[in-house]
Amino acid sequence: MAVRDTLVDIFMAGVRRADPGAAVDLALQDAAAPDLIVSLGKASVAMARPAVARFGDVPCLVVTNPENAEGAEEVLPGARVLIGDHPVPSERSAAAGAAVLDAAEGLSAGQRALVLVSGGASALVVAPVEGVSTSDKAEVSRLLLGAGLDIQAMNLVRQSLSRIKGGGLARALAPASAEALILSDVVGDDLSAIASGPMVPPLGSRSDAVALLKTSGLWDQIPASCRAALAQNDPGPVPQVETRLVGSNRLSAEAMLAAAPGAVLDPVPLEGDVADAARHVAKAAMAGPGLHLWGGETTVVLKGEGRGGRNQELALRVALALSDLDVPWAFLSGGTDGRDGPTDAAGAIVDQGTLGRIAAAGLDVHDLLACNDSYPALEAAGDLLKIGGTGTNVADLQILQVGD
């Protein structure tokens, strides 16, 4: 258990580096009071807290997920706190989107907005373009998630169907000016991809989104209303907004390195399909004893209706890939937000005994993986990583220990 405790300690050093409250507080030193504060995403409560403390009389609208909304109104006196749903948007997400647009459009020339953005806002706050219902847009999100597309591909389509994403919120705020503080959950920190880029120009055009959907075989599966919307002309240009990055996956990975002297931080993030990522981890393990660190965000192609998430499935696949390794090893993969997929676990910690514990529980790991049912397998093994909602979100972190 000592090794597992060490891995959790290193992982939590990365999570703490992404503390959104501290990052925003530092960014607001000597800042003038805005006329409106809007905070969106899984870290929105923590990001809004220092802003509300500094500018208590300024109207503040916060949208977050249910877990991070608990107690929010107590720590954000006077703020309006709304709840959306993630990873698939809901009617609550649409109500939040309508409220955000209404507040933004209420500003006039000469006024200024402070916009705080973190990961998860793509689903938590939605405002479909004219002619597209929330349920139709949710179906598109479901198809994108199940196709194993990377975050940029998904966001290109989401932006093209939204009045908030892809610079839509910046358009709604005009003619008022705006400043945006961004907590990045996207590897590489592309501002147009974080939360689908509500304050910056989009990743591409609607015709680009159509081409992507056709190439991925999803065009004929998406609702007709969405196909019709994507055939329309693109909206107007996005006003220029001052943006600052206050936290990121890379910074958290570097914080893990500082907490683990002698470790090696892989310069190549763990991205792409979980099966490919598991092979990459296994290759590092075969190189010999040591402590290896990664940041990144993998993807999963959904083949069944099981419970789990990308971190849990990656951990389980690593356990299979290292089943013949004849030295002690342990691997942790976790989401910095504390939630991996629609589960109560952040991810998992597996070791050389994981597969045996699963088999002893009467479960077949291959059958469970075939239907994306990693959660019950890891639960049976006692390998789930549960840390609760962290109030932040900078994608995922991974740690591999090989040898004693």
d(CA 378, CA 151): 26
Tell me the average pLDDT of the chain. Answer: 94
Per-residue pLDDT reduced to its tens digit, 165-178: 999 999 999 999 99
pLDDT at 389 over 90: no
Task: Determine the pLDDT at residue 149.
Answer: 85
Question: Could you tell me which of 226, 35, 207, 200 has the C-alpha nearest to residue 129?
Answer: 226
192 plus 286 within the same structural domain: no
d(CA 345, CA 354): 17
For residue 101, is it left (φ>0), alpha (ψ between -120 and 50) or beta? alpha
Q: Give the pLDDT band of residue 367 (cuts 50, 70, 90).
A: very high
Burial class, 108, CB count within 10 angstroms (exposed 0-12 / middle 13-18 / buried 19+): exposed
Task: Determine the pLDDT at residue 146.
Answer: 86
291 plus 322 within the same structural domain: yes
> Among the three residues 213, 247, 281, which one is the final residue of a domain in this structure?
247
Cα separations (Å) of 78 from 28, 52, 115, 321? Answer: 19, 8, 17, 52
pLDDT at 185 over 90: no
Domain with 390, as residue range(s), is 2-11+250-402
238 plus 261 within the same structural domain: no
d(CA 5, CA 21): 26
188 plus 243 within the same structural domain: yes
Q: What is the mean pLDDT of residues 55-70?
A: 94
This model's pTM is above 0.75:
yes
d(CA 332, CA 397): 8
Task: Determine the pLDDT at residue 1.
Answer: 52
Q: What is the mean pLDDT of residues 172-195?
A: 93
pLDDT at 229 over 90: yes
207 plus 332 within the same structural domain: no
Phi, psi of 181, deg, nearest 5: -105, 125
Per-residue pLDDT reduced to its tens digit, 298-347: 999 888 889 999 999 999 999 999 999 999 999 999 999 999 998 999 99
208 plus 269 within the same structural domain: no
357 plus 386 within the same structural domain: yes
Question: Could you tell me which of 123, 126, 19, 136 has the C-alpha nearest to residue 66?
Answer: 123
Per-residue pLDDT reduced to its tens digit, 109-119: 999 999 999 98
200 plus 317 within the same structural domain: no
pLDDT at 202 over 70: yes
CATH of the domain at 357: 3.40.1480.10
Give the count of beta carbons closer than 10 Å to the beta carbon of residue 319.
Answer: 25
Give the count of beta carbons closer than 10 Å to the beta carbon of residue 284.
Answer: 16
139 plus 215 within the same structural domain: yes
Burial class, 237, CB count within 10 angstroms (exposed 0-12 / middle 13-18 / buried 19+): exposed
CATH of the domain at 194: 3.40.50.10180
Residues near 398 by beta carbon (within 8 Å), at least 6 away in sequence:
270, 281, 293, 294, 295, 296, 314, 331, 332, 333, 334
With a pLDDT cut of 70, the percent of the chain lying above it is 100
d(CA 157, CA 255): 33
Describe the crossing of helices 134-146 and 151-160 by its angle, rounded to 10 degrees. Answer: 160
d(CA 55, CA 60): 9
Task: Determine the pLDDT at residue 82.
Answer: 98
172 plus 263 within the same structural domain: no
Q: Give the pLDDT band of residue 27 (cuts 50, 70, 90).
A: very high
Per-residue pLDDT reduced to its tens digit, 346-364: 999 999 999 999 999 999 9
62 plus 150 within the same structural domain: yes
The residue type of 189 is D
> Among the three residues 228, 247, 266, which one is the final residue of a domain in this structure?
247
Task: Determine the pLDDT at residue 151.
Answer: 76
Q: What is the mean pLDDT of residues 53-57?
A: 94
Q: What is the mean pLDDT of residues 210-232?
A: 97
> Among the three residues 247, 271, 287, which one is the final residue of a domain in this structure?
247
pLDDT at 273 over 70: yes
With a pLDDT cut of 90, the percent of the chain lying above it is 85
Per-residue pLDDT reduced to its tens digit, 368-377: 999 999 999 9
Per-residue pLDDT reduced to its tens digit, 152-168: 888 899 899 999 999 99
- Number of compact structural domains in the chain: 2
